[in-house]
């Protein structure tokens, strides 16, 4: 049994199927975890969703584009490359499946004793993985209990940093922004949500440049997508980026968890 984590697909159904073939994915035996952003930008978001929903061994964490799709579906707005999904016959089923995906997954590999923390964007160093999981679950349960409110009020860049005192939608919004939109952070993990390049502006650094090793023990790996301009390069073996720019007609990449091997297909 192999577990694979796959980067941002963004509606590139053909490349997704090519990659499943290349990794020799065995349905009913192997497991697939997607780092989110299954949809948008590419041509076949609906096909990607239908394929994943039909296979119980495939799951995903939620990305910012998946949340945006849920928002469009919630208000019934058919837009751009997501139009077909919003107007699909089975859109209700898609909504129900997608909204149940977690914001974070923790996978323990018995063979290697490795633990993998999987999120769309990453985990800020101010949170231990345990705390990040607790906050992710807090948002997920609200998203499922009251999707209408959450999907309307989650948008925006403020507050731009975490505080344990935050309550209500300011709290949920910043949790969602850390887990699904983060790239660069400054002092106290203040978010810079505007810079999508690979080069930091003064006072900021990539979120995975943890200053202390408090959360980065051996055998703990942080696996994420979202940051296409990195092309998967973090220069730190414990932080594994998997967005290799499929949305920009570059590559789609899988990580095999038992030997940490990356396998890619070209667009």
Cβ-based nearer residue to Mn ion, 7 or 25: 7
Report in angstroms how near the CB of residue 56 gets to Mn ion at its nearest. 25
Cβ-based nearer residue to Mn ion, 25 or 99: 99
- Cα torsion at 172, 184, 72, 83 (round to 10°)? -160
- How big is the site for Mn ion, counted in residues (CB under 5 A)? 4
Selected range binding Mn ion among 43-51, 55-63, 126-134, 145-153, rule: CB under 5 A: 55-63
By CB under 5 A, is residue 66 in contact with Mn ion?
Answer: no
Contact 42, 12 (CB under 8 A): yes
By CB under 5 A, is residue 63 in contact with Mn ion?
Answer: yes
Residue nearest to Mn ion (CB): 226
Cβ-based nearer residue to Mn ion, 171 or 226: 226
Q: By rule CB under 5 A, what string of x and - marks binding of each residue 209-228 to Mn ion?
A: -----------------x--
Cβ-based nearer residue to Mn ion, 181 or 215: 181
Cβ-based nearer residue to Mn ion, 193 or 258: 193
Specify the DSSP class assigned to residue 104: E
- Would you call the peptide bond into 159 cis, given omega within 30 degrees of 0 as the criterion? yes
Report in angstroms how near the CB of residue 228 gets to Mn ion at its nearest. 8
Rounded CA separation 141/99 (Å): 10
Cβ-based nearer residue to Mn ion, 37 or 192: 37
Report in angstroms how near the CB of residue 71 gets to Mn ion at its nearest. 14
By CB under 5 A, is residue 241 in contact with Mn ion?
Answer: no
By CB under 5 A, is residue 64 in contact with Mn ion?
Answer: yes
Contact 78, 87 (CB under 8 A): yes
Chain centre distance of CA 35:
4
Q: 166 to each of 8, 120, 142, 156, 179, how far by Cα in Å?
A: 30, 22, 16, 15, 16
Selected range binding Mn ion among 22-30, 60-68, 137-145, 202-210, rule: CB under 5 A: 60-68
Cβ-based nearer residue to Mn ion, 37 or 125: 37
By CB under 5 A, is residue 37 in contact with Mn ion?
Answer: yes
Contact 65, 28 (CB under 8 A): no
Rounded CA separation 84/143 (Å): 23
Contact 254, 244 (CB under 8 A): no
Report in angstroms how near the CB of residue 205 gets to Mn ion at its nearest. 19
Rounded CA separation 153/171 (Å): 11
Q: In terms of Cα–Cα distance, which of 198, 212, 13, 5 is closest to 127?
A: 212
Binding site for Mn ion (CB under 5 A): 37, 63-64, 226
């Amino acid at each position: 049994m192999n577990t694979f984590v796959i980067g941002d697909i963004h509606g590139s159904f053909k490349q997704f199927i090519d990659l499943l073939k290349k990794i020799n994915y065995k349905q009913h035996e192997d497991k697939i975890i997607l780092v989110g952003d299954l949809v948008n930008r590419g041509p076949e978001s609906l096909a990607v969703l239908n394929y994943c929903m039909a296979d119980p061994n495939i799951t995903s964490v939620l990305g910012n584009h998946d949340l945006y799709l849920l928002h469009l579906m919630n208000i019934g707005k058919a837009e751009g490359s997501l139009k077909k999904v919003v107007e699909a016959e089975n859109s209700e089923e898609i909504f129900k499946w997608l909204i149940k995906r977690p914001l974070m997954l923790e996978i323990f590999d018995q063979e290697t004793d490795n633990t993998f923390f999987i999120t769309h964007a990453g985990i800020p160093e101010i949170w231990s993985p345990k705390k990040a999981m607790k906050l992710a679950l807090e948002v997920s349960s609200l998203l499922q209990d009251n999707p209408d409110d959450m999907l309307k009020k989650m948008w925006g860049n403020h507050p731009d940093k975490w505080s344990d005192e935050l309550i209500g939608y300011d709290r949920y919004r910043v949790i969602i922004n850390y887990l699904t939109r983060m790239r660069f952070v400054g002092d106290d993990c203040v978010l810079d949500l505007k810079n999508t390049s690979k080069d930091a502006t003064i006072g900021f650094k990539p979120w995975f440049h943890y200053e202390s090793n408090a959360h980065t023990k051996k055998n703990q790996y942080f696996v994420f997508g979202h940051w296409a301009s990195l092309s998967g390069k973090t220069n730190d073996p414990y932080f594994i980026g998997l967005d290799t720019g499929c949305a920009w007609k570059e590559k789609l990449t899988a990580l095999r968890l038992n030997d940490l091997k990356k396998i890619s297909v070209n667009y």
